[in-house]
Structure 1
Amino acid sequence: MPLELGDTSATLTGVVTVDEVEPFAAWLRGTAKPRVNLRKCNHLHTGAFQAMMRFRPKISAAPADSFLAGLVLPLLEGSSGAPIRQESDPS
């Protein structure tokens, strides 16, 4: 199952599709200080990504998937208050 929801933490595994977006968003909405484990997630529907951007959960485990780790995780970490490394302007 791609979505396991606990009292304060959620684990996203494998391919997270549109079918998981609404229960995931509802869980994020109703959970104080939510934590999300992305270690075994290798595809994240944009709706799930948008829900995380909106509700700003703490990412408890980074994804092993290189695309999610390299391009998506920095955006999620920035949404939870962690600093995003800014690249210097070469001009």
Structure 2
Amino acid sequence: MPLQLGSRTAVLEGTVTVEEAEPLAAWLRQTAGPRVNLRDCSHLHTAALQALLAARVKVSVLPADAFLRAWVAPLLERFAATPDQKPLANSSKEAS
């Protein structure tokens, strides 16, 4: 199973497809201070990446996959929320 959702950490393993993007996004919206473990993730669909970026999720474990480690992890770390920031996913709700 490519997606394991815990109380604060989501573990993404193997190929994370578009089918996992919505459950991941829903979990991210409901979880305070979410973290993501990418150690065993080998492919991340762009919809799942967008959900992670919008939630400003923190990476708890870097991916072993060379591409994800070089390109995706730094992007997620750059956009990770600081304690005083809210996730981008909630910004649109507050504006309306």
TM-score normalised over the length of structure 2: 0.82
The residue aligned with 1:68 is 68
**Hey, what's the Cα distance between the residues in 1 that align with 2:35 and 2:27?**
11
CA distance in structure 1 between the aligned counterparts of 2:2 and 2:62, rounded to whole angstroms: 16
Partner of 2:55: 55
The equivalent residue for 2:87 is: none
Match of 1:21 in 2: 21
Structure whose CA Rg is larger: 1
Name the CA distance, whole Å, in 1 between partners of 2:7 and 2:18. 22
Q: Distance in 2 between matches of 1:70 and 1:81?
A: 20
Q: Secondary structure at the match of 1:67?
A: helix
The equivalent residue for 2:2 is 2
Q: How many pairs are equivalent?
A: 82
C-alpha separation in 2, matches of 1:40 and 1:80: 20
Taking the aligned partners of 1:5 and 1:72, their CA distance within structure 2 comes to 20
Which residue of structure 2 lines up, in the alignment, with residue 38 of structure 1?
38
Partners in 2 of 1:60 and 1:74 — Cα distance? 13
In the alignment, structure 1 segments of 5+ residues that lack a partner are 83-91
Q: Distance in 2 between matches of 1:78 and 1:54?
A: 12
1:38 CA displacement: 0.2
TM-score (norm 1): 0.87
- Percent identity of paired positions between Structure 1 and Structure 2: 59
- Aligned letter for 2:8? T
